[in-house]
Structure 1
């Protein structure tokens, strides 16, 4: 009887986790807006991002580093500080005084549109407490992926299903298992493309500031999106 009761509790706990609601974030800029779904598979990064959004940390910060066909990066608190942010100054050294432990998952990879955490060159590969990037990426051929495996990936293979996504949707596979992926754009990827294409200086900083406002979608909006979105929107995108 005790075993049956324990199994029931385990079943309930599993179902509660499986049905955990998704959290969605809106990023607004002068180039439009995008909606990002945060992954429940990376709870430390998800919860930290939500905490900072609720504090208003990202409002007024800049996308301070953009590289076309690669990514756009933002979240540096110094980017909204006039004393530390002068025209032409390199940004990206500001933070919140802590790191987030890496949360690598084999199923989460750097396809086009994912949200991931920036980090310093630490052996632990712990993430910045606040800086993030969104992948624009590019499409790869089989030959290019094979070459990447032998060079930058040092022999680490790319799963067949992920290869297909890198070929059809695009991304930046050399970052896999080195930087934590914790969400993906489900609407508004054109904003990322537009920002990635802006004119920039030698530090890859946009010549005209690209400020952001970041907010958490309300429960009603989240439920509506869960009803209409497939489990993995970008995997089916072409």
Structure 2
């Protein structure tokens, strides 16, 4: 009961800021539906996602890398991207430049773009993930600040200490949205059984549609 109350409270906390943004998405899964807002202050990732939806990239896509208390990843898998790019005779590796903003960080339910180890921290075009992180302490944040040479804002600290997340991903992966309704759905998905490579033992498909409001 406490967990459900916490989730409801989290929805109410996020809802005000979420609806201030202009683009909203509906994710449909066998576990239920959840709603996501795309940030207007990360416009290139926002627009890429909207184009990908129109091009049916995320029509019956798969959540194909699931790690409880870390992330639920979907779209193209790293392995498939690597194979496709290795087979390209022109050796092209299309990426989208990183968009880092203090308002976009790896709190619970954050929507991020996957990437490889490129030094520019540029994103894959068709891979996304949701944060289903863990509890964070002040000592954790202090350690990360020293290690990464960054400074967490008061808002970020408050959010991480209250609800957890994955701050170690900040300034390394672009966050461009967040779940504002249905966080419990992605938490259920994060608990499915997986193999040693984090592939779910049963397929977890999803479809995204833009919400026209």
Common fold: TM-score over 0.5: yes
Does residue 112 (structure 1) correspond to residue 98 (structure 2)? The answer is no
CA drift of 1:43 comes to: 0.7
Equivalent residue number for residue 159 of structure 2:
165
Does residue 103 (structure 1) correspond to residue 99 (structure 2)? The answer is yes
Gapped runs of 5+ residues in structure 2?
1-19, 85-92
Please say if residues 21 and 38 of structure 2, whose CA atoms lie closer than 8 Å, have aligned partners that are also in contact.
no
CA drift of 1:21 comes to: 6.1
SS in 1 for 2:79: coil
Equivalent residue number for residue 177 of structure 2:
183
**Change beyond 3 A, Cα 1:148–1:140:** same
| In structure 2, C-alpha distance between the alignment counterparts of 1:101 and 1:154, rounded to whole Å | 20
CA drift of 1:193 comes to: 0.4
| In structure 2, C-alpha distance between the alignment counterparts of 1:174 and 1:38, rounded to whole Å | 22
Q: CA RMSD in A?
A: 1.7
Larger radius of gyration: 1
Does residue 37 (structure 1) correspond to residue 18 (structure 2)? The answer is no
Does residue 201 (structure 1) correspond to residue 195 (structure 2)? The answer is yes
> Alignment length, in residue pairs?
184
Per-residue CA distance 1:213-236 (angstroms, 9 max, x = gap): 111112xxx3xxxxxxxxxxxxxx
Please say if residues 64 and 210 of structure 1, whose CA atoms lie closer than 8 Å, have aligned partners that are also in contact.
yes
Equivalent residue number for residue 8 of structure 1:
none
Per-residue CA distance 1:63-86 (angstroms, 9 max, x = gap): 00011111100011xxxxxxxxxx
Equivalent residue number for residue 78 of structure 2:
92
Per-residue CA distance 1:116-155 (angstroms, 9 max, x = gap): 10001101111000101011112212123223334xx434
Please say if residues 64 and 92 of structure 1, whose CA atoms lie closer than 8 Å, have aligned partners that are also in contact.
no
Gapped runs of 5+ residues in structure 1?
1-19, 77-90, 223-238
SS in 2 for 1:120: coil
Determine which of 123, 129, 136 is the counterpart of 1:133. 129
Equivalent residue number for residue 69 of structure 1:
69
- TM-score (structure 1 length as normaliser): 0.73
Please say if residues 52 and 58 of structure 1, whose CA atoms lie closer than 8 Å, have aligned partners that are also in contact.
yes
- TM-score (structure 2 length as normaliser): 0.81
CA drift of 1:99 comes to: 1.3
CA drift of 1:196 comes to: 0.6
Please say if residues 111 and 129 of structure 2, whose CA atoms lie closer than 8 Å, have aligned partners that are also in contact.
yes
Moved beyond 6 Å, runs of 4+:
none
Per-residue CA distance 1:165-213 (angstroms, 9 max, x = gap): 1010211001111111111101010111011111000111110110011
Please say if residues 135 and 172 of structure 1, whose CA atoms lie closer than 8 Å, have aligned partners that are also in contact.
yes
